[in-house]
Structure 1
Amino acid sequence: MAPPNFESSLTITHIGTATAIIDIDGVKLLTDPFFSPAGTEYDVGVTVLKVSDDPALSLSDLPHIDGVLLSHEDHEDNLDPLGRRILDGRHVLTTKDGAKNLAPRPDVRGLAPWETIKIRLGGKDFTVTGTPCKHVPGQECTGFILTTESFGNCPDGRPNAIWFSGDTVYFDELKQIRDQWHVTAAILNLGFAHAPGEILQLAQPGAKAADAYDGW
């Protein structure tokens, strides 16, 4: 059920892995574009990533995409060669390093943690804030908080918002999201991703995430 004063329509279509279409009043945003078919393999040095399932939608099945929320561009399971085709000629929000690496695309913008910008997508004005991620040490990754006028505020005054977490484990700094916004809907990149042979967790398992975000 939508919270009071939330006057937007919202649908989320999961395509696979961290890829989804967020449809806000007809404005369609794509998260972490990954469209490799089952059987594709990527050698990332420490391991080989193997794709087990086909995406629910192929590139040719996609509706018009107004913008891309890209948590990081340097991992194939968040942006594969097929997904890179989506970036050309579209608004893309990503990390600071990602924006440099994706140059010279003019509509790619990088956000630092807690940096806020205003952007018009599909004829609708949004305020977007980058949220911090704890993923691979020394590499940038970002999440995104989206608000717009039609989302309204919750009764305690916090703006209603949509959050795409990016690849991250839970850590205390993320509590600032709960304090500043009322998260009406969230897309969380979950899973037991870890470095082989090391105790280095790269993403949050579902059960732990349910406990960590309980009460948000």
Structure 2
Amino acid sequence: MEITYIGGPTALISLGGVRLLTDPTFDAPGEYPIGARKLVKTAGPALAATEVGAVDAVLLSHDQHPDNLDASGRTYLAGAPLTLSTASAYDRIGAPVRAVPSWEHVELPRPDGGLLRVTAVPAQHGPDGSEPIVGEVTGFALSGDGLPKVYVSGDNASLDVVRDIAGREGPFDVAVLFAGAARTPLVPDAPLTLTSEDAARAAGILGARHVVPLHFEHWGHFTQDGATLTKAFAEAGLTDRLHLLEPGASVRLP
């Protein structure tokens, strides 16, 4: 498989010949309103939407926040053959979004004649009880004969959720973890995504031999970054598992 980091939560995953795009965000830096607040984007994507090219599916953790789906991302969705996401995203966007409840799956054809299974898994975008405030979120587990098993967390902040996923779908070869310890006044007392320390703990829980962080930079509401990820994985003795990519860079994983 190969993962190309585009920026923020957006990455291109090629697995078994199937091309998947996570949370499309292609807008320029600036202020983006969400309710009465604004989120500040500090850097644009390393690749434009036109440079990404066609994909087989979009894995959309959620649609309600502009740092996970922006205006350019919505335009990209309109041309995508399939977007897998939450029931709430389907209610708001309609086609081409397909709602996949947690633990249910969709099978995508591979060029070699096999199938790539995409299983929706839970995600908790903040502390316990925060879903009515922040909204519904999903993650994904990717698997198939002869392929590494991959976990894509989406905006999940809960290690209990990670343990549940590891118990039902693990162990995983690769973990794509949304980190950054995001904080906003909406939920002032707890992070909305994994801290760097919890990302390292999640790697251990999942049994992941490779970890590719996403969504830890390029927005003002992140409180941790690549340096804190590097430190946390080093302190956990997991430096060899961490693949901290520069925007536009790719990594091939066994």
**TM-score normalised by length of structure 2:** 0.71
Asked whether the 8 Å contact 2:28–2:45 carries over to 1, the reply is yes
1:17 matches 2:8: yes
Structure 1 residue matching 2:190: 3-state secondary structure: coil
User: Which range moved further: 197-206 or 128-137?
Assistant: 197-206
Counterpart in the other structure of 1:173: 161
Counterpart in the other structure of 1:42: 32
User: Counterparts of 1:38-187 in structure 2 under 5 Å?
Assistant: 38=29, 40-45=30-35, 47-89=37-79, 90-103=81-94, 105=95, 107-120=96-109, 125-135=115-125, 136-138=130-132, 139-151=135-147, 160-179=148-167, 180-187=169-176
Structure 1 residue matching 2:65: 3-state secondary structure: coil
Asked whether the 8 Å contact 2:21–2:59 carries over to 1, the reply is yes
Question: 2:203, 2:158 → 1: CA distance?
Answer: 9
Question: 1:87, 1:124 → 2: CA distance?
Answer: 25
Asked whether the 8 Å contact 2:58–2:82 carries over to 1, the reply is yes
Tell me which amino acid in the other structure corresponds to 1:164.
V
Displacement after TM superposition at 1:80 (Å): 0.4
Displacement after TM superposition at 1:124 (Å): 5.3
How many residues in Structure 1 have an aligned counterpart in Structure 2?
A: 196
Higher RCO (CA < 8 A, seq sep 6+):
2
Asked whether the 8 Å contact 1:27–1:124 carries over to 2, the reply is no
C-alpha change, 1:183 and 1:46, in structure 2 (3 Å) is farther
Aligned-pair identity in percent equals: 34
Question: 1:192, 1:21 → 2: CA distance?
Answer: 22
User: Which range moved further: 42-51 or 163-172?
Assistant: 42-51
C-alpha change, 1:124 and 1:84, in structure 2 (3 Å) is farther
Question: 1:147, 1:208 → 2: CA distance?
Answer: 24
In structure 1, the gaps of 5 or more residues are 1-9, 152-159
Counterpart in the other structure of 2:240: none
**TM-score normalised by length of structure 1:** 0.83
Structure 1 residue matching 2:141: 3-state secondary structure: strand
Which residue, out of 188, 194, 199, partners 2:177? 188
Structure 2 residue matching 1:98: 3-state secondary structure: helix
Question: 2:204, 2:28 → 1: CA distance?
Answer: 34
In structure 2, the gaps of 5 or more residues are 208-254
Tell me which amino acid in the other structure corresponds to 1:185.
V
Provide the aligned C-alpha RMSD in A.
2.0
Question: 1:205, 1:174 → 2: CA distance?
Answer: 13
